[in-house]
Structure 1
């Protein structure tokens, strides 16, 4: 689907920058009753895939097992400009398939990469992983489509800076 306001579209490099800068987003899945289910999560972009962690069971896991299609939305700018009745925003939406990681080495490596994104002490991450690995679920969203958009205010600022 083509973006209606394509002048405001982010290029793929800008989308990746947003995904690297932001620390959380909303993962949207289809719930068991067919309604959308959105859950805020921290994440890491690792080798082109988006990595999440969570409990081994629960609504999110049930949804993924039923239908692995997912959408993930990240907003990394959201400045309200009240006098103009607008917002200077920048956001990215990733659509793709999400999978539960079952390979133990991959689970370990992705978990350490996720942990290092927020706290760079790898030895501390290893200690935490050893303690919680048996109760931890790692999920990987493989992007099929990545789109991004910025509000007119940010677009104008960007054009003025060039």
Structure 2
């Protein structure tokens, strides 16, 4: 169902792709937007197993697009170093394909936002997190993206460096 990567020697192992998703804090969710135009939106996220969670407002382009078509992709760039003398970049990135849906129950939303807040709250205690969530929960929408296919790729130059 999903295409194989053409340059298989640049394919990252699944564990490395997941590590990249766990380590990073933002990526681009791509959806089928209005009038059939692609809609890519940068978002903060958290990975839990084969699920990625995002938060947003209850209304807007993102929510409308997901309600219309659940198929989506999510891309994270882990590295992108310009090497001007080689006219290239030493890149490493991951793309996940799957289906996104809106969490409807308050229990699911609360569980997901707590996990997301835990990633971004630093040294804040649970009490501070609960206060912040409480301020915004009524207007909060949580999106769950179920990963169906995951690939990571890195520049051939990075592959060659590992082989030395």
CA RMSD after TM alignment: 1.0
Aligned 8 A contact 1:92 1:148 in 2:
yes
Q: Which of 16, 20, 40 is residue 18 of structure 1 equivalent to?
A: 20
Equivalent residue pairs, number: 160
Q: Where do 5+ consecutive residues of structure 2 fail to align?
A: none
Moved beyond 3 Å, runs of 4+: none
Give CA-to-partner distance per residue, 1:32-57, whole Å, 9 cap, x none: 20010000001000232000000000
Aligned 8 A contact 1:92 1:149 in 2:
yes
Q: Secondary structure at the match of 2:36?
A: coil
Aligned 8 A contact 1:98 1:141 in 2:
yes
Matched, 1:99 2:101: yes
How do residues 4-153 of structure 1 correspond to structure 2 at under 5 angstroms? 4-120=6-122, 121=124, 122-153=126-157
Aligned 8 A contact 1:87 1:153 in 2:
no
Aligned 8 A contact 1:76 1:89 in 2:
yes
- Alpha-carbon distance, 1:21 to partner: 1.1
- Alpha-carbon distance, 1:118 to partner: 1.2
With structure 1 as the length reference, what TM-score do the two structures score? 0.95
Give CA-to-partner distance per residue, 1:90-135, whole Å, 9 cap, x none: 1010000001011211111110110111114332211111110001
Q: Where do 5+ consecutive residues of structure 1 fail to align?
A: none
Q: Secondary structure at the match of 1:141?
A: strand
- Alpha-carbon distance, 1:153 to partner: 2.0
